[in-house]
Amino acid sequence: MINNVLVANRGEIARRVLRACRDLGIGTVAVHSDPDAGAPHVREADVAGRLPGASPSETYLSSGLLLEVARRAGADAVHPGYGFLSENADFARAVLDAGLTWIGPPPEAIAAMGSKIAAKKLMAAAEVPVLPGLDPARVTEADLPLLVKASAGGGGRGMRVVRALDGLADAVAGARREAESAFGDPTVFCEPLLEGARHVEVQVLADAHGTVWALGERECSIQRRHQKIVEEAPSPAVGPGLRGALCGAAVSAARAIGYLGAGTVEFMLLPDGRFFFLEVNTRLQVEHPVTECVFGVDLVRLQIEVAEGARLPEAAPEPRGHAIEVRLYAEDPARDWRPASGTLHTFEVPGVDAEFAVPAAPSGLRLDSGVESGGEVGVHYDPMLAKVIAWAPTRRAAARRLAAGLRGARIHGLTTNRDLLVRILGEPGFLRGETDTGYLDRIGLGVLAAPLAGEDAVRVSALAAALAAAAASRASAGVLGGLPSGWRNVWSQPQRRSYEGPFGAIEVDYRLGRDGLVSELCPGTSLVRAAPDEVVLDHGGLRVTFAVAFAGDRVHIDSRLGPVALTVVPRFADPSGHLAPGSLLAPMPGTVVRVETEPGAAVAEGQTLLVLEAMKMEHRITAPSAGTVAELNVITGRQVEAGTVLAVIAENPK
């Protein structure tokens, strides 16, 4: 029997494992880096051990430190979660050699699938359909388009699309750097790029007594940077016959490597029904909640019970309904998926029926989150904030429930991909099930990443923000505090406030007098009531409530018209903040991994000047306009903070 589990991970997946352990009555041990000292998973564990440092390499990837914490805490088992060391065969062996139970597949199975190159050969021998692998040194024009892939790891890291031979060398070099940083292994290979294909995977679960379950398939085709952002079960493209073939191939793959515990066999599915093996993820998947909802199982609990030697029932449970999951990231899709870091002032999702568990009712909304209001999102780890999952009798019902939950969420302090996710869930092609790995490119971010709040909604939200700010300033005004701020019996000048919004600068002016609210910005809009945190307006003949929250120079306004974030423009600008024209600032903290220009060089608009590594991914910094590099303030290997002037581009005369 397992009595005390060390969770060798952080964030959302650590909280998920802790929840399962609590339900089983098992003691728990958390680990944390220095930036994670105040994280929710640390508080929720029975005890927690510090991993000194901040970067993954010196903390969550340090097997020696993890095992030392396990020894001090008296843990008798280790659950690796996903990412970090979850697919590291050496770590699994070290856990077993220390006399602990490894809650995962045997090290031999991990090693067999640890190299995608070797895994393809093994699967081909087991008669599982595979795509041919290509040596990057032998690629020809006839092989294009292709995908450069890291042999180790996953999560979209170390992957590049190549459509022209002159881009192959840079793609291979970039993939190798990213793979080395994320997985400690720079080995890459190439394979044909299957355009128009779907990414479909099968959840398997195997015990030590010869039983292997295939718990249906998941559709994971909607991806950015080769990383999934929307997943669902079952796939809208898979019928009973194809499902049987996919599940049969997945079971063959699991048996071929002597698999034990929970794992996922991934395939590429072509429109004609042919499918090809991609890889086996020898761990729990990020998207496991959709399978849990549809099949009514707790995969983490089953992982633990299988590790204890339990026997699975001969037949897997029957599926019920449809589940859709979205990954909520702190990132800006409209700016090349730029990650965001800082304080998450508010994080609230309405209507949640369960956290880290299947909802009790036949349908519901589930939240698996690694963050909470007031927490910090750092630069050292993946920017995923949470997974939101809807389970319903039908696919359309699940999409509608999930979209409503996301639309009503209050997320303040960081830019997120929430608006993109809501738009995907309501997009006609998605609702028809017409998704493949090129979905985002085909529909276009111009459509999908557009703010939920249009220009009219932003204007009236800005008016609500101004009225709330005025109400806050009058809250301590004694006997006059009950009057709306700016109220005049005889007025001469309007009240004014300035904001910067998603569509540019907004000047709010209004008057409050005997005739009520008068605003040129929103003519015909009247005030019902105003408080520092809530304003009610009659707009377009309908009463609308605006929840208003202030955080420094930012103000967040939530209403049925859509979420709006504005920056307050001070009345008097600080001259010390002036930057030279053409200054190019670091959008986030990171490390300069490559510089592709030099002082005096002529550059074109959109040309890559340098590459920053942050949040486990590489990010291109490009020239905002054509011109000449007047200043270059970086070198390879330098750490930079957000807002650092990286370069100054002198624009070409027009």
Q: How much is the average pLDDT of 193-199?
A: 93
Residue 40 and residue 370 in contact, taking contact as beta carbons nearer than 8 Å: yes
The topology (CATH level 3) of 132-192 is Dna Ligase; domain 1 (3.30.1490)
Q: Which residue has the higher pLDDT, 155 or 135?
A: 135
Pick among 3.40.50, 3.30.700, 3.30.1660, 2.60.120: CATH of 455-568: 3.30.700
Q: Please, which pLDDT band fits residue 128 given cuts at 50, 70 and 90?
A: very high
pLDDT value of residue 613: 84
Q: Which of 120, 153, 123, 150 is nearest to 136 (CA)?
A: 150
Report the C-alpha gap between 72 and 86 in whole angstroms. 21
pLDDT of 363 over the 70 cut:
yes
pLDDT at 462: 98
Going from N- to C-terminal start, the domains of the chain cover: 4-103, 132-192, 198-438, 455-568, 576-651
pLDDT in the model for residue 477: 60
pLDDT band of 484, cuts 50, 70, 90: low
Q: Are 430 and 416 in contact (CB under 8 A)?
A: no
Q: What CATH number does the domain located at 198-438 have?
A: 3.30.470.20
Q: Is the pLDDT of residue 160 over 80?
A: yes
Q: How far is Cα 210 from Cα 208, in angstroms, rounded to an integer? A: 6
pLDDT value at 480 more than 90: no
Task: Give the Cα separation of 63 and 91 in Å (integer).
Answer: 6
pLDDT at 31 > cutoff 60: yes
Average pLDDT, the chain: 93
3-state secondary structure of 533: coil
CA separation for the pair 502, 458 (Å, rounded): 8
What average pLDDT does this structure show over 343-348? 97
pLDDT for 479: 54
- Cα distance between residue 51 and residue 67, in whole Å: 11
Show the CA angle centred on residue 159, arms to residues 154 and 161, nearest 5°.
Answer: 145
- 281 token code pair: 């993820």
- Residue 158, pLDDT score: 85
Least confident of 58-67, 198-207, 226-235, 508-517: 508-517
Q: Is the pLDDT of residue 414 over 80?
A: yes
Q: What angle do CA 545, 551, 552 make, to 5 degrees?
A: 135
| Structural element, H or E, at residue 305 | helix 299-307
Give residue 577's pLDDT.
Answer: 55
**Model confidence at 631: pLDDT above 60:** yes
* pLDDT tens per residue across span 381-395: 999 999 999 999 999
If 0-12 CB within 10 Å is exposed, 13-18 middle and 19+ buried, where does residue 126 land?
A: middle
Among residues 358, 461, 356, 347, the alpha carbon closest in space to that of 406 is found at 347
Range among 123-137, 182-196, 419-433, 602-616 with highest mean pLDDT value: 419-433
pLDDT at 643: 84
Angle (nearest 5°) at CA 104 between 99 and 107: 70
| pLDDT 10s digits, 74-88 | 999 999 999 999 999
Q: What is the pLDDT at residue 653?
A: 75
> What share of the chain has pLDDT > 70, as a percent?
96
pLDDT in tens, 285-320: 999 999 999 999 999 999 999 999 999 999 999 999
- Predicted local confidence at residue 574, as pLDDT: 59
Over residues 235-291, the pLDDT tens digits come to 999 999 999 999 999 999 999 999 999 999 999 999 999 999 999 999 999 999 999
Q: What percent of the chain has pLDDT above 90? A: 79
Confidence tier at 607 by pLDDT (50, 70, 90): very high
Name the strand (E) or helix (H) holding 474: helix 455-474
Matching CATH number, 4-103, of 3.40.50.850, 3.40.50.20, 3.40.640.10, 3.40.50.300: 3.40.50.20
| C-alpha Rg value of the chain to the nearest Å | 27
Percentage helix, strand, coil for the chain under 3-state DSSP, each rounded to 5: 30, 30, 40
pLDDT at 525: 96
From residue 487, alpha-carbon distances to 283, 469, 525, 575 in Å are: 63, 14, 16, 33
Quickly state the pLDDT bin for 492 (edges 50, 70, 90). Answer: low
Residue 576 has pLDDT above 60, yes or no: no
What does the pLDDT read at residue 134?
A: 86
pLDDT at 281: 94
User: Looking at residue 162, what is its pLDDT?
Assistant: 95
pLDDT band at 651 (very low <50, low <70, confident <90, very high): confident
Is it the case that residue 488 has pLDDT exceeding 80? no
pLDDT of residue 322: 98
Range with the lowest mean pLDDT among 47-61, 130-144, 229-243?
A: 130-144
Q: Give, in degrees to the nearest 5, the angle at Cα 513 between 507 and 518.
A: 35
Amino acid residing at 440: L
- Closest by CA position to 564, among listed 495, 465, 470, 471: 465
Question: pLDDT tens, 3-12?
Answer: 999 999 999 9
Q: What is the pLDDT of residue 654?
A: 65
Instruction: Say how far apart CA 530 and CA 472 lie, in whole Å.
Output: 9
Residue pLDDT, tens place only, 442-469: 999 999 999 999 999 999 999 999 999 9
Q: Is the pLDDT of residue 415 over 90?
A: yes
Yes or no: say if 62 and 85 are a contact pair by the CB < 8 Å rule. no
Residue 493 has pLDDT above 80, yes or no: no
Architecture of the 576-651 domain = Beta Barrel (2.40)
| Residue 125 CA: distances (Å) to CA of 15, 174, 202, 214, 386 | 39, 32, 20, 21, 39
pLDDT band at 353; cut points 50, 70, 90? very high
